[in-house]
Amino acid sequence: MSAPETTLVTCPIFQTFEDTHLELYPGSFRMKRPFTGEAPEPPTRLGTEIQGFSKKSRIRLRFVADNCTAKIKTQFCMTYGDVWPINGRSLKADLNRFRTAVKKHYPLLEDLWIAEFQTRGCPHFHFFSNISLTPQNHATLTRIWHKIAGYGQDKHLRVHGHESNFIEWSMTNGNYLCKYLDKEHQKAIPEGFHNFGRWWGHSRNLVPKPTTVDLQAISEKFDRFNCDEYGVITDDRDAEKQLIRTLGRFHEKRLGKYRKRSFIRKTNRSFTVLGGRKIYDQLIEFWSKEDEHDFTGNDFSRPDNRPLPPKSKRAETSKIQGDCGSGVDSVPF
């Protein structure tokens, strides 16, 4: 008697943690907040197939591209001649054999691949990697792919051996990569092609592990609340609030013509900002220089060494004093 079909998981899988913290990637900024609310139901994918390049898949691809800029050096295109597989399992088997063979020649290989369909219905791959742009490397990649997918056709060998098929590539912007590859007619699965599977993938360590920063430590270091001798607020910096506001402004600028108020400003959930690492570093540098200047050039000590009041009390004080509590609200970007 065979076992009944079940999903891979029977309960939701999600991380639980107590404190809000920051994850800093080479290009992206992520704020992780404790999960609240009801646990999500696990998805049921029995008997389903991937139908197209989804919005969430695009977002994940942008995240990977945004954080592998220092590793990707070249792009190699791989296609078929007059014969190609019409089943996703066979197609991905060819890709796996290619990547395995390349890995033997380049043990430190790190790569990102993306699949598309040509107008004639033939699948092809964009292979981004850290392999240097040299004639020898081009010949090696061409020989490996031709052995797998060439079926002895001379035209297939000439196409992949052309100098324009192996080019230098700088992964400077994940949005540009998706725009370069996001052509709807090339993301439509042709009729008769089955079990296509994933549109893209990458090597395990292409995106490095993030640097984790405790948000409470940021607040303790950069929060600032000062009054003059009459008790009037002269400086009020809420580091967490200003960080979120600045990232929200940056996100709104990236929305371009679709600009609207960023959800980052009002959400209480975790969020990721592509390209936000640079903004975070600039803000930290700005605060550090400002504090150093104030320490050396001005006396911001609180009268009578009074302790820093809680944020709720500071908000009430700022509300009462109106504009006097606006404090430092501008950054150099």
pLDDT in tens, 200-243: 999 998 999 999 999 889 988 988 877 766 666 666 788 888 99
On the question of pLDDT at 166 being above 90, the answer is yes
pLDDT in tens, 121-158: 899 999 999 999 999 999 999 999 999 998 888 999 99
Mean pLDDT, to the nearest integer, of 174-184? 64
161 touches 138 (CB < 8 A): yes
Continuous segment of H or E residues that includes residue 166: strand 166-168
On the question of pLDDT at 48 being above 60, the answer is no
Give me the chain's average pLDDT, please.
79
Q: Which residue has the higher pLDDT, 46 or 58?
A: 58
pLDDT at residue 15, rounded to an integer: 54
The pair phi, psi for residue 202, each rounded to 5°, is: -155, 165
pLDDT-derived band of residue 184, with 50, 70 and 90 as boundaries? low
Which residues neighbour 78 within 8 Å (Cβ) at sequence distance 6 or greater? 95, 98, 124, 125, 127, 145, 149, 160
pLDDT-derived band of residue 304, with 50, 70 and 90 as boundaries? very low
Share of the chain above pLDDT 70, in %: 70
**C-alpha distances in Å from residue 88, one per residue of 67, 93, 129:** 28, 8, 23
Joined tokens for residue 296: 């050396």
Q: How far is CA 94 from the centre of its chain?
A: 28
Q: Is 144 exposed, middle or buried (0-12, 13-18, 19+ CB in 10 A)?
A: buried
Residues 11-45 as b/e (b if ≥16 CB within 10 A, e otherwise) read eeeeeeeeebbbbbbbbbbbbbeeeeeeeeeeeee
pLDDT-derived band of residue 46, with 50, 70 and 90 as boundaries? low
pLDDT at residue 178, rounded to an integer: 67
Predicted TM-score (pTM) of the model is 0.75
Give the CA-trace dihedral at 330, 246, 269, 34, to 10 degrees: -70
193 touches 87 (CB < 8 A): yes
